[in-house]
Amino acid sequence: MITGRMFATLAGALGLFAGLATPGLAQEPITLGEMNSYTTLPAFTGPYRKGWELALEEINAAGGIDGRPVAVVSRDDNGKPADAIRIAEEFVASDDVAIVWGGFFSNVGLALTDFAKQRQVPYLATEPLADAIVWSQGNRYTFRLRPSTAMQAAMLAEEAAKLDATRWATIAPNYAYGTDAVTAFKAELKKRKPDVEFVGEQWPPQGKLDAGPTVRALEAMKPDAIFNVTFGADLAKFVREGDIRGLFDGREVASLLSGEPEYLEPLGAEAPEGWIVTGYPWYDIDTPEHDAFRKAYEAKYGEHPYAGSLVGYNGMKALAAALTKAGATDADSLIAAFEGLEVPDAPSGAFTFREADHQSTMGAWVGRTAVRDGQGVMVDWRYADGADYLPSPEDARKLRPAE
């Protein structure tokens, strides 16, 4: 039997051979080591893989990096930091990779951040959102693609501050991503609206939400509004139990990531209406860069892109841009290339990796949820540029440890 992990390994090997077989690319390939939680969270990481594979195909079809094909060795980290470190060691020892990249969960991303520092290997955290990756535990070898927890929480707080609600309750998974999100949202909302009060919190284990007691506890707090950080199956359980018990009746909800199709689509017509969310309204984005990406993705896979697809695609394009700028594959050259690197033609819009904290300025879409033709969507959305939700370079440097 082929397990999920074996499949990921085989897929990575096939990607490597595909790079070698590209016409006109006879030089030695540049190998990149990618890992993600493919079997643990397939709803997001499946589209993510498709996104970076599409970008890889485009890069090699266009001549690779100065005539050298790009090859990706891919593994499944099973959502476990220990597995991620073991795989990263194999990448360095056996596969001679130029860069380690990927990860989904924040604890995995933080483990790889430390690995990068200890082994002095460049690491691009494509999906992990924990603020510590680029701030309190940041290092010269680690860069991050997605808008961080603090950035997206600030985007939501900006909208939440416009509401009449003053009594807020929170619900978030009890690990770094959840705790960071709640801390950042509280700080940002109080900065914008000092009279708000946080009347209680719920901290369910990730993937193990007991929806009934959690919803009853939130209802007992009598909040005006709720800040939600649950996602995946936990989000679905929270929405359904909350609807049954009337938790959302007359209450505003600000919800991190809940506008992403990975999480809205499984809810179908049960998707919440009127929630303030960050997400990805692929169906209504009308820019030349996004149109080209969407058409290429749909032509290759026969389905629309997801948020994971966009992240995977942007990640691979950023890696190619860094390799091209560096003109070499040693760590020092790649770090110098990443610092201040501009990625101009991304489907989400141009973004830059800041020299001060190695965080990219990739943004997110902020809007309200609605149901259209029996499907949850985002409406009244705007694109929030990540650069507008980051501390100044001077303040960012103060958040990082001395090196």
pLDDT in tens, 51-93: 999 999 999 999 999 999 999 999 999 999 999 999 999 999 9
Higher pLDDT, residue 280 or 177: 280
Specify the amino acid at residue 90: E
Tens digits of per-residue pLDDT, 142-174?
A: 999 999 999 999 999 999 999 999 999 999 999
Residue extents of the structural domains in the chain: 4-144+288-348, 150-281+364-389
- pLDDT score of 10: 43
Sign of CA dihedral 183, 38, 316, 277: negative
Q: Which two tokens stand for residue 378?
A: 């985002």
State the pLDDT at residue 396. Answer: 97
Dig out the tokens for 4 from the structure: 């999920």
CB-CB contact of 369 with 275 (8 Å): yes
Average pLDDT over residues 296-307: 98
Pairing of strands 197-202, 142-144: unpaired
Q: What is the pLDDT of residue 27?
A: 87
**Fold match between domain 4-144+288-348 and domain 150-281+364-389:** yes
| Mean pLDDT on 273-287 | 98
Closest CA to 257 of 281, 278, 232: 278
Domain covering 4-144+288-348 assigned CATH 3.40.50.2300 in the classification = yes
What pLDDT is stored for residue 5 in this prediction? 39
User: How confident is the model over 272-277, as a mean pLDDT?
Assistant: 98
Residue 2 — pLDDT band, cuts 50, 70, 90?
Answer: very low
Please report, as a single letter, which amino acid is at residue 251.
R
230-241 per-position pLDDT tens digit: 999 999 999 999
> What is the reported pLDDT for 26?
61
How far, in Å, CA of 168 to CA of 218, rounded?
Answer: 10
pLDDT band at 16 (very low <50, low <70, confident <90, very high): very low
Write down the architecture of domain 150-281+364-389 according to CATH: 3-Layer(aba) Sandwich (3.40)
